[in-house]
Amino acid sequence: MILLLPLPDELDRSYMGRLIRLNGLRSEKGLVTLLAQWANVAEASRWEVCCLDLLCRAANMELSQFVRRHTTLPLRRSFTSYQPDLAHGSAESQSMLRLTGMRFARPGAYFCVDCVRLDLETYGMSYWRRDHQLLGVSICTKHLRPLRYVDKTEAFLDAPSSFVTNSHLVSEEWARLNQQHSGIQRFLAISRELLDRAKPFDVKVARLVLHEQAAARGWCTHGSKTSKPLLSDQVLANFPLDWLSTVFPLLADKKPGVTFNQMDGVLYLSTSASSVAPYILACSLLFKSADEALHALMTDFTKPRPRQKIKPIDAGDLRAAYILAKGQYALVLPELCDSRRSIQTGLESIGLPNLPGRGNQSHLIAVTAFFVHKKTLSESAALGGVELSTLEHLIRQGGNNLATALTEISAPPTGPGSGVLRVKPRTPIEAGATTGSIDEKSSWHSLCELEIGD
Ligand SMILES: [Zn+2]
């Protein structure tokens, strides 16, 4: 067995390919068998040891160290709802590593011809760099040159030098656009920061952080129908569509104004979507820099935060919005604040009921006929095309304040703070007279018990 050290930023499969070629083997399977024999892994327990575990032994590295330096897993798993406390490449994550450890970050195998030339001069061989395989990367950061790529990912097992002439070149124009776009630059900077981390972010933490930012901009932060701007539409408006189709193709096909859970869900779902792209896109859009985004994500949300005071909605604003919406709650609700419930309660408390209209039915016409044109109850109900009982209900809602006052007149409230004394304190003698006892001590005692129990 000829062993090798992985080269700087070398992708796991590139290292595997070099081991295969140097040992005169033909396949991945052949290398795994040879490595398992070399590492003395017993046949019976071979299924428990993942390929990455064998590669890190060959590289004489800790598993977590190898995973963090040579796989794209820290980025692909950067936001997760599944065991977020588990560090990347930890010993407990063998089954996860076996399934997803060596997956590709994107289709195709990317390389830089200048890096290939330099590597041949420096190491006598070329290799695939991990950074070039990241989502959205189209240029080599060292040589500022557009990357070349091969469509098939099997290419990683061969040297990139064998594809210099038979590969596609990312166009200069495309690479320049990506280089100059501040949102794409933030996306890439955040991706590289995430790749460097030992642990993923819990989706629940990301949701809180992103939700706070989106709410501050007045964007929709839930999955219901809304007139507020959608995060998915904002991403579409702020990133080039061609580029988006390389990092999140489903989003590029989305219709404007339609909630798209795979993207908008980062603000309200507690389980992660199929990819980390929507989280990184949201961070790129909602924060000015990668530092700012990472700092916000690392805020300790386990510490109790001061409760935000709920700002009471001004009755004048509510009334104005109600008039503008012609009494239809559905048209008032999204405009004033995030809590539909508090707006509804606010309107009800000032005696402004919901006045929906459907087909020939108009609650607005019925109540206008009654209150403004002084028609009778039955005439007003007929004009609005509503049941008499519906109109009565609306009028009762309108007379909310009167109804509350009348309720209190007919049944005065009791209890603490109501001003009505529940038990008149007795003197010890009175207590004795009630119980029929003249023993002052026991009477006093029973009075105390009464008061404590009260
Ligand atoms: Zn390069």
SS (H, E, C) the chain: CCCCCCCCCECHHHHHHHHHHHCCCCCHHHHHHHHHHHCCCCHHHHHHCCHHHHHHHHCCCCHHHHHHHHCCHHHHCCEECCCCCCCCCCHHHHHHHHHHCCCCCCCCEEECHHHHHHHHHHHCCCCCECHHHCCCCCECCCCCCECEEECCHHHHHCCHHHHCCCCEECCHHHHHHHHHCHHHHHHHHHHHHHHCCCCCEEHHHHHHHHHHHHHHCCCCCCCCCCCCCCHHHHHHHHCCHHHHHHHCHHHHCCCCCCCCHHHHHHHCCCCCCCCCHHHHHHHHHHCCCHHHHHHHHCCCCCCCCCCCCCCCCCHHHHHHHHHHCCCCHHHHHHHHCCCHHHHHHHHHHCCCCCCCEECCEEHHHHHHHHHCCCCCHHHHHHHHCCCHHHHHHHHHHHCHHHHHHHHHHHCCCCCCCCCCCCCCCCCHHHHHHHHCCCCHHHHHHHHHHHHHHC
* Statement to judge: residues 168 and 215 lie in one domain: no
* Statement to judge: residues 95 and 196 lie in one domain: no
Please list the residues that pair with 150 across neighbouring strands: 109
Phi, psi dihedral angles at 346 (to 5 degrees): -60, -45
* Statement to judge: residues 175 and 202 lie in one domain: no
* 116 CA distance to ligand 1 middle (Å): 7
- Give pLDDT, residue 2: 92
Residue with tokens 């090798």: 4
In a domain, 372, yes or no: yes
Q: Which two tokens stand for residue 387?
A: 């049941």
What residues contact 395, with CB distance under 8 A and at least 6 apart?
367, 370
In a domain, 436, yes or no: yes
Q: Which two tokens stand for residue 6?
A: 């992985």
* 261 CA distance to ligand 1 middle (Å): 37
pTM: 0.67
* 147 CA distance to ligand 1 middle (Å): 8
- Given 48, 78, 100, the domain boundary residue is 100
* Statement to judge: residues 155 and 220 lie in one domain: no
Q: How many domains does the chain have?
A: 5
* Statement to judge: residues 41 and 75 lie in one domain: yes
In a domain, 42, yes or no: yes
* Statement to judge: residues 324 and 394 lie in one domain: yes
Please list the residues that pair with 129 across neighbouring strands: 10
Residues, CB-to-ion distance under 5 Å, ligand 1: 112, 114-115, 140, 142-143
* Statement to judge: residues 161 and 189 lie in one domain: no
Q: Which two tokens stand for residue 105?
A: 């970050």
- Given 240, 270, 297, the domain boundary residue is 297
* 129 CA distance to ligand 1 middle (Å): 9
- Give pLDDT, residue 412: 63
* Statement to judge: residues 131 and 160 lie in one domain: yes
* Statement to judge: residues 189 and 217 lie in one domain: yes
Q: Which two tokens stand for residue 178?
A: 């990506």
- Give pLDDT, residue 361: 78
In a domain, 220, yes or no: yes
* Statement to judge: residues 95 and 131 lie in one domain: no
* 114 CA distance to ligand 1 middle (Å): 5
* 139 CA distance to ligand 1 middle (Å): 8
* 432 CA distance to ligand 1 middle (Å): 100
CA distance 104 to 156: 10
* 54 CA distance to ligand 1 middle (Å): 29
In a domain, 415, yes or no: no
Q: Which residues of the chain have pLDDT under 70?
A: 44-45, 272-274, 300-312, 333-340, 359, 412-454
The phi-psi region of residue 108 (left if phi > 0; otherwise alpha if psi is between -120 and 50; otherwise beta) is: left
In a domain, 332, yes or no: yes
Contact 244, 278 (CB under 8 A): no
- The CA R_g of the chain, rounded to the nearest whole Å, is 35
Nearest to 267 by CA among 234, 237, 289, 300: 234
- Give pLDDT, residue 324: 83
- Give pLDDT, residue 357: 75
CA distances from 286 to 186, 187, 247, 250, 375 (A): 10, 11, 18, 21, 55
Q: Which amino acid is at 336?
A: L
* 444 CA distance to ligand 1 middle (Å): 94
- Given 229, 262, 297, the domain boundary residue is 297
* 387 CA distance to ligand 1 middle (Å): 77
Domain of residue 146: give its range.
109-180
* 146 CA distance to ligand 1 middle (Å): 9
CA distance 312 to 321: 15
CA distance 191 to 34: 35
In a domain, 7, yes or no: no
* 338 CA distance to ligand 1 middle (Å): 49
In a domain, 416, yes or no: no
* Statement to judge: residues 189 and 293 lie in one domain: yes
* Statement to judge: residues 398 and 339 lie in one domain: yes
CA distance 295 to 289: 10
